[in-house]
Amino acid sequence: MTELKNLDRELGSFRLRLIAAALLVLFGFGLLVARLVTLQVARHDELSTQAENNRITVLPVVPNRGLILDRNGVVLANNYAAYTLELTPSKIDDLEGMIDALAQVVDISTRDRKRFKRLMDDAKSFESLPIRTKLDDEEVARFTAQRFRFPGVDIKARLFRNYPYGELASHVLGYIGRINQAEKEAIDETEDAANYRGTDYIGKLGIEQRYEAELHGATGFEEVETSAGGRAVRRLRAKPPTTGNTVRLAIDIKLQAMVEELFGERRGALVAIDPRTGEVLAFVSKPTFDPNLFVDGIDSESWRELNESLDKPLLNRALRGTYPPGSTFKPFMAIAALTSGKRTPQQTTYDNGVFQFGNHRFRSHGDGGLGVVDMNRSIVKSSNVYYYTLANDMGVDLIHDQLEPFGFGRKTGIDLYGEVTGVLPSTEWKRKYYKKPELQKWYAGETISLGIGQGYNNFTMLQLASATATLVAGGQRFEPRLVREIEDVTTRETRLISAEALSPLALEPTHVEVIRKALYGVTQEGTSTRVFLGAGYKSGGKTGTAQAVGIRQNEKYNKDRMADYLRDHSLYTAFAPVDNPQVALAVVVENAGFGSEAAAPIARRVLDYLLLGRYPNVEDIALAQKGQAGAPVGATRLAAEVPLLAVTPGSVTTAGATEAPALPASASVPAAAASRPMPVASAIGPAAKVAEARASGALR
């Protein structure tokens, strides 16, 4: 009986242990099932994405930047491919030591080091940054053979922007440069952020900046399957990038080159506009700069030389340089007087050489006057007294209200960023401009000098050319356009940018004819007669001599006693033909004296080029550069037969980019297989494996 009880006790204990073991097993299976449910159901999407990321690499493919052409199809900005040596600072422990070691293999100059340091200041540590650009085949081969020594260093093929004509039209074209941190953050906040993945460069100035959206193109991608070790296995799918659109300017680059040569070493600006369309035919600012310096990242010495030069080559004088218009302002005063009823064409003023206002004597032509002058004679002979009197009669606010619609004192709306407004003064302007109450009052004496384009008057040559075009066109207005049309590289369709007219000014045709006739008289019997002798067309114009600094009331101007930067500016406005204007222009030569000596000769040669197809000879250009030219001397040349300057190496004329030469067979370089278009700008990690596989032929 005792044994039976022990057996029952042992069986009960066994059952308990069995149940416990079963529960433990069931609990373990429950945990396993719960974990599986969590992984397979709850976290399915998250883990699936991670798995795909480990297996699939998506590489952005940067598009070729669009071309910039002149109106005749001459290529002004294109691309070429070259090899760069790049470092990723986050993958390098001793950066300075690494650079020193690299310098034993590839030439790295002090300039390269400074530029790299500047790029590091603007970039994140995990970015790949160039320490050397435009490596030749021998340098690529040397590095490739020792690549194992340099972790975090790679060679890539990149597109470089090229400006074949160097300094020519640099203020129009602008330049591209590496995207800095602030620009990256700004791009990331836009809807176009995805389109800039892999892009390192962006338009910084001029047309490159203004038409960035058109020139950049659309970024493509390559989706590649990689092994667990990150080695490329096969290409899954790809979307090729779309090259940026072609931007065709209204500028005639040969005319632009001629004008820049006529300026020589002098400072100034010229803007020529077609009054019928608003197209800008020439847009000159002198001195210029080489935009190619900025593509790679300008070195500190070149930047200091440009930035600290007294000549201010980085200043776009046509867009941002403001000048007193001098006597070129008189035709606008005349049309304002006619429109407002303050003068009739026949009404006369006696010019005795001096206008007395209170205790101040406003001077005119030397010590003598012009006698009786009506409106025509006041323009032809450039009477100061006539316009002193007119300004006094009109008052500053009426002058402002009549001339502001011509574009003075406000932006013209040209398709460039950075335009300034200039100053067309009024009593309201002065109140806003000056902070101190005692300086805000407008004094009647301040109005007098406005009549001859002095005083507070300050305008750009763009404003003066645009206003001249509006005046001679009878009030027809356009927003000036540097870009004529844009060609879609995919559809080959062109989109016209210029020729969008604004509402015209209500000018009386008879009033416009009075001004046109007077301006024509300037070239026949007035201040620019000598310059326009023998011209094969009828043109109108107006000389201007504007003070750069004021002189005392009883002191005479003597340029020989003044420093170069203090001498008067030489200005000229012109249009032609008189009966059907096809071009209107404004030109200023800084500190060059009378308008007929320096500015008018340049204007004459521009009109000869546009209307007659003639180009000045070498002797005539030399005289113009010295301010000693009148009418063209010697035989002029056919413009069509005069060649442009030689282009810089590496440029192309018919394609968006040249292809990088093939690397040596031994080179296992990420961008070795990069031809057209360029692959992703980064070849770090999986991207490097992908490019290596493509280069070796393993990836199909």
Active site residues: 327
CA distance 674 to 656: 15
Percent helix, strand, coil in the chain (nearest 5)? Answer: 40, 20, 40
Residue 169 φ/ψ, nearest 5 degrees: 60, 30
Question: In terms of Cα–Cα distance, which of 334, 339, 351, 443 is closest to 390?
Answer: 334
Separation CA 430–CA 400 (nearest Å):
12
Do 31 and 38 meet the contact criterion of CB atoms below 8 Å apart?
no
What count of residues does the chain have?
Answer: 700
Amino acid at position 394, single letter: M
Please tell me what DSSP assigns to residue 642. Answer: S
d(CA 251, CA 447): 38
Q: What are phi and psi of 513, to 5 degrees?
A: -65, -35
CB–CB of 78/67 below 8 Å?
Answer: yes
Q: How far apart are CA 197 and CA 612, in angstroms?
A: 50
Instruction: Evaluate the omega torsion of the peptide bond into residue 616 and state whether it is cis, within 30 degrees of 0.
Output: no
- Rounded CA gap, 318 and 169, in Å? 12
Q: Which helix (H) or strand (E) holds 246?
A: strand 246-249
Dist. CA 175–CA 163, nearest whole Å: 9
Contacts of 29 (CB under 8 A, 6+ apart): none
DSSP string covering 183-213: HHHHHHTSTTGGGGTT--EEEEEHHHHHTHH
Identity of residue 290: D
Residue 414: exposure state from Cβ atoms within 10 A (0-12, 13-18, ≥19): buried
Q: List Cα–Cα distances, 510 to 184, 335, 506, 577, 623, in angstroms.
A: 56, 11, 12, 18, 39
